[in-house]
Structure 1
C-alpha cells in the first residue's frame, strides 16, 4: 500500500539530533562505505519511538538499517536520483526546510505576537480607494495622493462616508457594497491595510495610506471578539448532480422528513448514521472536525453553525451549494493559545507581505556576517548600457555584452557574481514598474537590492555547512525520496500491473478473501412499535416501500423510514437475527428503534471473485513482494559488515 513520502521510513520521523560520533566504517555495499556515526545517530533518534523492546535489539536494528541502505543503493543503481520529479521534489523540500533558517527570529517573534493579538478581534471596515500603481510616475502618484487628501478633508468636515465612497472610490465592488468589506481578522487583507484597520478606533477614519493597489481611507465600523472555532454534527442530503426539479424536491422532502423525526424526539446521531449522505461523517453520528470562520467552502453552513448558541442546539434544514443540511452544535472553542498557533502563524507570515520585514532584517545581518566586495568599474559599465527603455519595460540586455563575465560582486572572497547576472536581474525588475530617476540612481538602488538577494542566496546554499542538523535532515530526506520512487517502481506498480502474479496470489490465498452470507433486503425502522408492526403486516401482504411510507407517514410526521441493499449477515440490525430466511422477519429493538426486515434473496458464504476484492489483493501482494525484497537485494549486492567495529558500537550504545 502506498504511504506518504515523509513516512517512508522510521529514520525520517523525528528531527532531533546528537553530536556526531567518531566515524568508522560499519559496513560496505559494493565498496560504498556506511559509517558508525550515522547508524548511532539514527538509532538514538528513534529509540523513544519504539515501544517493543525487541525492536531495540541492536543486531536486529543493524539488519533493518542495512536493508534500508540496500534499497537506496538499488535506487542509485537504477539512476532514480537523476529523475526530474525526484530532483524537483528534493529541491522543493529543501526550499521548505530552509525557511526555518532564512529569517530573523526577533523580527519573526514580534510579528507572530502582533498577528496573534490581532486574531483576538474581527474588524468590520469600509474603505475608499484611489487607484495608483506601485511604480507610477511621481506626477501620477502625487495626483492620486492629492485626491485622497481632498476626500479626507471632506470626511473631516462631516460628509457621509457612504455617499463619498459611492462618488469617489475606484474599488469596483463599491457599487454593490458601498465600500463595506465585512468582518475580517489578521491575514485577510494586505498588511498595510490590516495595520490601518486595527490601529483606527471604531467610528473613526484612518489617515490616508498606500498599498500596492493605491491610496486608501478606512472607516472602522465595528470590532468584535473573534468567534473562534466550532464543532458541529450534521445530516446531509446531497444536491442532485442534474438540474431536475423532481430530484431536488425529493432531496428537500427527505431532509424535511428527517427534521420532523428529530422534532419527534428521535436521536440525531442515529438518524445521521442511517440517512446522512456525507459518508465521511455519517458513521460518527455526523460529527465534523472543528473549524473557524472562512475555513469551509460554504459561508451558509458556517453562519448557521456559529449562530447556534447552546450545546445540542439543532438548526432547521437549510441549503448550501452542496445540498441540504441539519446542524447540531457539539461545542464552541475560543481562539487557541499563542503556543498552539505559533508554527501556523510563522508559516502565514512567510507567505505574507510581513515577510519583507524579515528578509530585510536578515540581509542586514548577513552584510555584517560576510565580506562583500563591489567592483565599481563593472557597475559603471552597467550604468552605460541601461537606458530609458527600462521605464517603458522595453529594455533588453545587450546581446553581446563584452563585460558580461566580469565579476561585479564577491562574497566571502570566493563566491563571485558576474555582471551578466546583475544585468538579467535589472531586466527582471522592469515588471516592478520602478520610476526612480536618474538612471544612475536607479542602477545603484537595484544593485543594493541585488546584493541583498545574492547574500541570502549564498547563505541558503551553504546551510549544510553552517548547520549540521540541516545536512542530516537533507541526507535522510534524499534517501527517503529515492526509496519511495524505488518502491513505486519495484513494488507498487509491479503489483498493480502483474496480472498473472495477482491472480496466482489470489488463488493461493483464497481463504483470506471470503464473503460472509449476504442478504438482499429492505430494512424498515421506526421509534414506534405499533407503526413497525403495521409496516410488518404490509410487507407480509407484498406491499411496496412507497406504499408503506404513504400509508404510515401522515399528518406531516415521518413515522417509518426504509433503506434497501445487499448486506453481509453481520451488517447493522441483521446481526440481531440468528436465523434469517427469505420473507419478512420478526421485529427487533436496537438503540431505541424498532426494525423489521424483508429478506428478498440470500447469497451463501463463499470465496470472492478476484474482481470483488482486487484492491485488497493488490495491497496484500505488495506487502508480500516487499517482505521478500531485501533477500533478493542481498544476492544482488556485495555486503561486508565490520563486526569488530559493530561490537564497539554496541558497547557504546548500551552504556
Structure 2
C-alpha cells in the first residue's frame, strides 16, 4: 500500500503502456496534484548523494507533504519507507542521465511541449481574468437554444477566399432579412456537415459549450433574431436565437437500458421494448431499482453501480430526449415511464438535482476553463501591456528604417520575400533587459509570416511600425515565459518533476515495460513459478431465478426440478401483465453475487435462498473445479506483476551500480520537522 501511495507522486513510473495523448492527459492530472501546498522557507541540507550528486531535504519534505492527502492509512506515512522509495526514484533518474536519455530529440520535444502547457497557467492578468469570470458566470445562469449557418473558411485563408466566404454569409443574411425561412436556407447553404440531420439546430447550451465568438453572438442576440455575420476559427456564422431560459443546472440519475439491435431487427427490438416494460412493472411492484439495474441493465458501465450515471447538464449527452426526461422528473426517487432513444429503451430514476452553484463556489473552476478557452487571448493582450512596463527594452530605430526600405507592396499580395543577402539589415533590432538581443533577421521573418493576415495598413512604412509593435509584444512575452522559473518557485518545482518524470517514462519503457511485454520466455517462467497467484475458483454453469415472492420462487423451483425451460417458467409465472420472476444464466465463480448463499452447490436444483429482499433458486447445469488459469486468461495481470518483479530486482542492481551516501543525521532532523507538523 505504501508503494502505491508514493507511486501517485511518481506518475510516470506507474504508467505502463501510454500514448502521447494519455501522457498529456496525465500532465494535467499531475498539475492538479501540485496544488499550492509548498511549505514556507525550508532549511536546505543534503539528504543523500548519488555518485556525489546532492539531493536536498527541501525537495523530500515538499514531496512528502504534497502526498499526505493521498494516503488513507497512517501506516502509509512511514518516513523511512518514503526515503527508500524516494531514493529509488532518484536512482532511476540518475540511471536515465547516465544513459544519455536527456539528449534524445523526442524527450526534448516533449519537455518543451509540457512546459508550453504549464506556462499557460502563468501567462495571466487578474483584472481581465476576473471580468471574464463574471461574464462567464452570468452566462452560466442561462441556456440558449440556437440554430446556425456556417460558411467554412480557414483561419489562414487568402484574402480572396476570406472575402468570398464573407460575401456568401452576407448574401445569406440578406435572404434571411428578406423573410426566407431559416431552416430552408440552412439546409441549402450551410456547410456544417450535421445540417442534414439537425437543420442547423444546436439545441440548448450554456457558457463554454461553444467557441467564444459563437457564444458571444448567441448570448447577445435577441430571441427570434439572427445575428450579424461573425467569424470563428471554423469560418463565418449566422446564429438564430430560438429561446433563452434559466439554466436547469445539472442532474444525477440512474437508468436501466435495454439496447436496440444493431441491424434494425424488428423482432429483437420488440423484445427489447417488452423487456423494459417488464422491468418497469417490477419497479412499480416495489422492487428495488438499483437491484434490477444490476441484474438486467445492458449499459455495462453503469449497471454494476445500480445504473448510476455521472451528473450532467443540458447538451452534455448525445441524446436530448434522455436529458429532457431526466430533467422532467420532479422529486428524488421519481421514476420515468419507459422511453426510447437511439441507443435503446430506458427507464430513469432521479437521484438529485444540482442547481447552478454560486460564483464563489466555482470561481476557481471558471478560471481554469477560461485559461483553456479562446478568451485567454484577451488575457494575453493584457499581459503584453504589463511586460512592456516590466522589462526595459530598446529598439534600433535606424535598423527599422532600413527594413522599411526593403518591404514593398508585394506584402499585400503575399509575394514579398525576405532579401537573402542584405548585410545592412544584420544586427540587433531589439534588446530586452540588456541580456537578450533579438536579431533583425527574426523581425524580417516575422514580417514575411504575417502576409496571410490580410493586413490593409498602408503605406508600407506604417505597416512595418505596426508589425514591429506586435513583434515586440511577442518577444517580451517570450522573455517573460523563459524566466518563469525565476519568477515562480512552484513553476520551477513542477518543471523539475516533469523533467525527471519524462526521463523515467523513457527509462522504464526501455528497461522494464517493453521487456515484460516482449520477453515471452521470461514471462512464461514467471507465470509457472507463481501459478498459485492465478487461480480460478470453483465455477458453475447456472440459471439464476429471482423473485420478491417466496411462493413464486418455490413454484419456479418445482418447474426446474421437472426439467422445464426458463421460457416455460416465465410464461407460467408472469401472468396478467405482472412480472413475478426474472432470470440470468452463465458460468460464474463460486463467490459470484448470490451463489455464496447456497451451501455445497452441486449439479441440480438448489434450495431457495434470500438476499437483499429477493428470493433465489439456482439450477446448476455443470461445475468446474478450482484450477490454474491459462496464461492467456490472465495475461494482462501476469505482465503487470512481472513488470513489478523486474523493477524490484532492477532497483537492487542500481544500488550496486551507484555510490549512495545517506546523511542519517539530516534525515532524522527532517523526520522531526515533518512529525511536528
TM range (shorter): 0.7 to 0.9
Whole-angstrom CA distance in 2 between matches of 1:593 and 1:395? 81
Q: What SS class does the counterpart of residue 446 from structure 1 fall into? A: helix
Following superposition, the deviation at residue 374 of structure 1 comes to: 1.9
| Maintained 8 Å contact 1:525/1:562 | yes
| Maintained 8 Å contact 1:5/1:481 | no
Question: Which residue pairs with 1:300 in the alignment?
Answer: 321
Match of 1:76 among 97, 122, 128: 97
Alignment of 1:31-42 (within 5 A): 31-42=52-63
Whole-angstrom CA distance in 2 between matches of 1:56 and 1:146? 64
Structure 1 position 600 matched with structure 2 position 621: yes
Whole-angstrom CA distance in 1 between matches of 2:510 and 2:236? 56
Structure 1 position 331 matched with structure 2 position 361: no
The C-alpha deviation readout for 1:380-403, integer Å capped at 9, x for no partner, is: 333333343333334443444545
Whole-angstrom CA distance in 1 between matches of 2:350 and 2:474? 51
Structure 1 position 431 matched with structure 2 position 438: no
Question: Which residue pairs with 2:26 in the alignment?
Answer: none
Structure 2 spans left out of the alignment, 5+ residues: 15-29
Structure 1 position 313 matched with structure 2 position 317: no
Following superposition, the deviation at residue 545 of structure 1 comes to: 2.6
Structure 1 pair 180/591, CA: closer, same or farther in 2 (3 Å)? closer
Whole-angstrom CA distance in 1 between matches of 2:430 and 2:570? 84
Whole-angstrom CA distance in 2 between matches of 1:494 and 1:129? 51
Following superposition, the deviation at residue 539 of structure 1 comes to: 2.4
Following superposition, the deviation at residue 197 of structure 1 comes to: 4.7
The C-alpha deviation readout for 1:424-472, integer Å capped at 9, x for no partner, is: 2223223332233332222222221121111111110111122222112
The C-alpha deviation readout for 1:31-60, integer Å capped at 9, x for no partner, is: 323234434444455567666666666555
Question: Which residue pairs with 2:17 in the alignment?
Answer: none
Structure 1 pair 423/239, CA: closer, same or farther in 2 (3 Å)? farther
Following superposition, the deviation at residue 111 of structure 1 comes to: 0.7
Structure 1 position 522 matched with structure 2 position 543: yes
Alignment of 1:507-586 (within 5 A): 507-586=528-607
| Maintained 8 Å contact 1:405/1:418 | yes
Alignment of 1:342-353 (within 5 A): 342-353=363-374
Alignment of 1:197-596 (within 5 A): 197-199=218-220, 210-212=230-232, 222-402=243-423, 405-596=426-617
| Maintained 8 Å contact 2:50/2:660 | yes
| Maintained 8 Å contact 2:541/2:620 | yes
Whole-angstrom CA distance in 2 between matches of 1:603 and 1:346? 58
Of stretches 236-245 and 341-350 in structure 1, the one that deviates more from structure 2 is 236-245
Q: What SS class does the counterpart of residue 586 from structure 1 fall into? A: coil
Structure 1 pair 557/56, CA: closer, same or farther in 2 (3 Å)? closer
Whole-angstrom CA distance in 1 between matches of 2:199 and 2:643? 61
Structure 1 pair 245/264, CA: closer, same or farther in 2 (3 Å)? same
| Maintained 8 Å contact 1:409/1:416 | yes
Q: What SS class does the counterpart of residue 358 from structure 1 fall into? A: helix
Whole-angstrom CA distance in 1 between matches of 2:69 and 2:332? 40
Following superposition, the deviation at residue 555 of structure 1 comes to: 4.7
Following superposition, the deviation at residue 240 of structure 1 comes to: 3.6
Structure 1 pair 546/34, CA: closer, same or farther in 2 (3 Å)? same
Alignment of 1:25-64 (within 5 A): 25-43=46-64, 45-46=66-67, 59-64=80-85
| Maintained 8 Å contact 1:397/1:424 | yes
| Maintained 8 Å contact 1:14/1:46 | no
The C-alpha deviation readout for 1:181-229, integer Å capped at 9, x for no partner, is: 65332234454554455456667787x5754589988776543210010
| Maintained 8 Å contact 1:190/1:211 | no
Whole-angstrom CA distance in 1 between matches of 2:83 and 2:205? 55
Structure 1 pair 189/287, CA: closer, same or farther in 2 (3 Å)? closer
| Maintained 8 Å contact 1:5/1:480 | no
Of stretches 247-256 and 584-593 in structure 1, the one that deviates more from structure 2 is 247-256
| Maintained 8 Å contact 2:547/2:582 | yes
| Maintained 8 Å contact 2:51/2:659 | yes
The C-alpha deviation readout for 1:127-183, integer Å capped at 9, x for no partner, is: 89999999869x979x979979x979x98xxx869689969x976689998987653
Structure 1 pair 460/559, CA: closer, same or farther in 2 (3 Å)? same
Match of 1:612 among 630, 633, 638: 633
How large is the RMSD of aligned CA atoms in angstroms?
A: 4.0
Structure 1 position 67 matched with structure 2 position 88: yes
TM-score (norm. length: structure 2): 0.83
| Maintained 8 Å contact 1:130/1:144 | no
Whole-angstrom CA distance in 2 between matches of 1:627 and 1:255? 52
Question: Which residue pairs with 2:18 in the alignment?
Answer: none
Question: Which residue pairs with 2:11 in the alignment?
Answer: 7
The C-alpha deviation readout for 1:567-623, integer Å capped at 9, x for no partner, is: 122222221211222112223333333322211111122333333333333333333
Following superposition, the deviation at residue 268 of structure 1 comes to: 1.7
TM-score (norm. length: structure 1): 0.85
| Maintained 8 Å contact 1:204/1:220 | yes
Structure 1 spans left out of the alignment, 5+ residues: none
| Maintained 8 Å contact 2:410/2:416 | yes
